[in-house]
Amino acid sequence: MNEAHLYLDTSAVAKLLIREERDADVAAELVARSDVIQTSLLTYPETMSALTRARRDRRLSDQGLQDALDRFGMLWPRFEVVQFSERIAFDAAAFILEFPLSGADAVQIASALSIPQDLTLTLATWDRRQADAARSIGLTVQPAID
């Protein structure tokens, strides 16, 4: 039986850390059902940016930010981290030419695709454009964003 591999983009990691997000339970369930959790090294600074932006936007208090940072510090070592490479950069650039993606979103897709294809892999994202592009390329995407 294949292990269930889950690739988390930054939006999915943020859902796990910002408890006020209504999709936090969905993200937690995806993680709970997965044997292996993977993400790009890019997710680390992007998540820090998302958390501090949530504080600036008053979606997190000072204590809420500290709690989210503490949870992130405990969660990060559980991830198998996909390192950024020239191949991922070139693949991401090709995706940008084909789909309306930011550079970071394209890197996340290219990173997920760099994982061996003989695995059962699901990309978790709450970004509609990224989800649409990933589905077009053949990735399984959760949650089902319509």
Mean pLDDT, the chain, rounded, equals 91
pLDDT score for 57: 95
Q: Closest Cα partner for 26 from 15, 39, 14, 35?
A: 15
pLDDT score for 24: 74
Confidence (pTM): 0.91
Domain coordinates in residue numbering, the chain: 4-142
* Rg of the Cα atoms in the chain: 15
| CATH no. for 4-142 | 3.40.50.1010
Q: List, in order, residues 6 or more apart from 78 with CB less than 8 Å away.
A: 37
Q: What is the 8-class DSSP label of residue 129?
A: H
Q: Mean pLDDT, to the nearest integer, of 66-71?
A: 96
DSSP string, 12-43: HHHHHH-TTSTTHHHHHHHHHT-SEEEEETTH
pLDDT score for 20: 64
